[in-house]
Amino acid sequence: MWKCQIFLRLGGKNAVARVAAQAAVYSLSYCYGAFYTIVLFRQLVNAIQARASFESVLGLLAVFCAMGVANTLLKGWYEHRFVPRSDCALEQALAASVYQKAARADLACFEDSDYYDRMGRAAATARESALAALDAMSDLLATACILVANALYVVWVDGTLLPLIALPAALALHWQRKKGALEGRMEEACEPYRRRTAYARRVLLLKEYAQEIRLTGAGKIAAARFREGCAGLMRVARERGWRIALYEIGAEFLLRVVLYAGLYGYAAWRYLACAAFTLGDFAAISGAINNVIWFVEKSGEHIATLRKQAHAAGQLDAFMREEIRVRGGSEPCAFQNEIALKDIRFSYPGAKRAALTGVSLTLHRGESIALVGENGAGKTTLVKLLLRLYDPEAGEILLDGRPYRAYQLDSLRAQFAVAFQDSRLYPFSVSENVRVGRVESEEAVREALNRAGLAGLAPSRAVTREFDADGWNPSGGQAQRLFAARVFASGAPIAILDEPSAMLDPLAEEALFAALREGSRGRTAIFISHRLTSVKWVDRVVMMQNGAIVEQGTHEELLARGGAYARLFFAQAERYRKEGAPHET
């Protein structure tokens, strides 16, 4: 249960205030109930039995009414004013911690299904489990205090009642704790199946998949995956649920049957057979016994909840402690002269074949370079190492003579403006899609849109219609122009464009590359392209095959050599001549 303290640590002052406030409010509410069932009820019954005057109980009734008004006002303020604001602040703090951790995680983590399970549990824990655990903590504090007070009253009246209360209550609490632990492990076993059903639901419902679902059998496959996930959830419930049910039934039997029958039976015997106390005392003891049983039951539920959430808290704690391998250094980065890759080797996690082997390359300030080669040659992988999304297994990368690892990670990555082939559009404004948090000037945004061939596009217009019915749904070619605008708007000294014109027609491609040539003056520019005719103008062409650099030089030099680049270039030219020019999509 102590693992749940991570919710307090990540939630900060909001979490502590939530627990303290709820414990105080609930304690007052429980005191109000205990006052009614013990003090007021005892005095009323004794007064009725003695035929006393109404004035003798008027003071107690006034206190009871005052406590009721205070309790109602306080609970109303807490539930409708304090809780909504507290929950919002708490959710923001917890979610920010999880999202920041996920954003700092190594890119390799996202190729591991186990990591997705851990991240999914952590994301769910950030809100649901945290609120459940904090509520249980606060309510347990309140119930424990009032439970002790009621139990002390019962024992003060008759000490024989102590073992009758303690033994069944302790066993019931233990069983509730065991039940909570089993529920936590059951939640963990369900997570892979929940992730599968959630993914299938996205495929069946989201716009991105709607077209293919209607034209192919993808919908049937997704529906089958959904059924498989549901079957897995049912199997887990069937295999593990019976043990949880046994602990629940056992605890309920002890509390509802053993404690009620034993305590009420003993109290009735003491009153009827021994005449040990008055009818009012019996009523008060009965109320106290009822309170004790109810508070034991509630405490058991809270302990079970904490035990269950302790498992989720452990998962969250493990996720937050996950080792980050790609760590930044302490030096700020400002690219001046060159980046040198020396004998680089790299393999993706779980891959049998190296993605890069023996790669050595130097990039100079102001130089334009094209990385070319067939699919799987290692071009994009090389760029990912330049961006330090991964670290090489062997070899080293130097920036201005200093190891990459010496530089602050954010400072190093800020040297690059990147447009990947699989970059994403966000349902924000056009301006925000261009700026993506790194460009402040609206004038720079307008100029970048103009260079990218999107001069007529209003920067304030929403991209996609997810949140705005009048939003702009770009074609594939228009999306590529918008990605290029991100690079134009950025002042980073190194520009990287991965297949920047794959969906453009020849005229639009020529216009875009003319803009890229102009926009990359004074910057180091790296282009990844399958269309070799698009990059003839660069200072240097780097030809890659099977994760290695096989040729490099100017376009003319490589053609003159008649090697791999020349063969690929002429093969493409022949295919282009036969098939005709592509059109923008």
Task: Check whether 180 has a pLDDT greater than 60.
Answer: yes
Q: CA-based Rg of the chain, rounded to a whole angstrom? A: 35
∠ CA 191-194-197 to the nearest 5 degrees? 155
Task: Check whether 125 has a pLDDT greater than 70.
Answer: no
Domain final position from 260, 289, 320: 320
Q: State which residues form the domain around 289.
A: 2-183+246-320
Task: Check whether 160 has a pLDDT greater than 80.
Answer: no
Mean pLDDT score, 542-570: 92
For the domain that residue 275 is a member of, what is the CATH number? 1.20.1560.10
Mean pLDDT score, 480-495: 87
Instruction: Look at residue 548 in the predicted model and tell me its pLDDT.
Output: 95
Task: Check whether 475 has a pLDDT greater than 60.
Answer: yes
The confidence band for 120, taking pLDDT boundaries of 50, 70 and 90, is low
* Same domain (yes/no): 503, 536: yes
Query: Residues 332-354: pLDDT tens digits?
Result: 999 999 999 999 999 988 788 89
Task: Check whether 442 has a pLDDT greater than 80.
Answer: yes
Q: Show the tokens assigned to 123.
A: 């994301």
The confidence band for 7, taking pLDDT boundaries of 50, 70 and 90, is confident
In a domain, 205, yes or no: no
Instruction: Look at residue 174 in the predicted model and tell me its pLDDT.
Output: 83
Q: Show the tokens assigned to 131.
A: 């609120």
For the domain that residue 386 is a member of, what is the CATH number? 3.40.50.300
Helix 55-77 / helix 5-34 crossing angle, nearest 10 deg:
160
The confidence band for 64, taking pLDDT boundaries of 50, 70 and 90, is confident
Listed in sequence order, the residues at least 6 apart from 275 whose beta carbon sits closer than 8 Å to its beta carbon are none
Helix, strand, coil percentages (3-state) for the chain, rounded to 5, are: 65, 10, 25
Is the CB of residue 425 less than 8 Å from the CB of residue 464? yes
Instruction: Look at residue 522 in the predicted model and tell me its pLDDT.
Output: 79
* Same domain (yes/no): 290, 373: no
In a domain, 198, yes or no: no
Q: Beta strand pairing status for 402-403 and 394-399?
A: antiparallel
Instruction: Look at residue 556 in the predicted model and tell me its pLDDT.
Output: 93
Instruction: Look at residue 318 in the predicted model and tell me its pLDDT.
Output: 79
Alpha-carbon dihedral 544, 549, 552, 558, rounded to 10 degrees: -50
Is the CB of residue 542 less than 8 Å from the CB of residue 555? no
Task: Check whether 152 has a pLDDT greater than 80.
Answer: no
In a domain, 225, yes or no: no
Mean pLDDT score, 514-540: 82
In a domain, 215, yes or no: no
Range picked from 236-245, 414-423, 545-554 for highest mean pLDDT: 545-554
* Same domain (yes/no): 314, 348: no
Mean pLDDT score, 293-309: 80
- In this structure, of 206-220, 385-399, 409-423, 476-490, the range with the lowest mean pLDDT score is 206-220
Task: Check whether 188 has a pLDDT greater than 70.
Answer: yes
State pTM to two decimals: 0.67
Is the CB of residue 474 less than 8 Å from the CB of residue 585? no
Return the percentage of the chain with pLDDT > 70, whole number.
Answer: 92
Domain final position from 275, 290, 320: 320
* Same domain (yes/no): 492, 426: yes
How many domains are there within the chain? 2
In a domain, 216, yes or no: no
Listed in sequence order, the residues at least 6 apart from 35 whose beta carbon sits closer than 8 Å to its beta carbon are 63, 64, 67
Task: Check whether 557 has a pLDDT greater than 90.
Answer: yes
d(CA 116, CA 323): 15
In a domain, 498, yes or no: yes
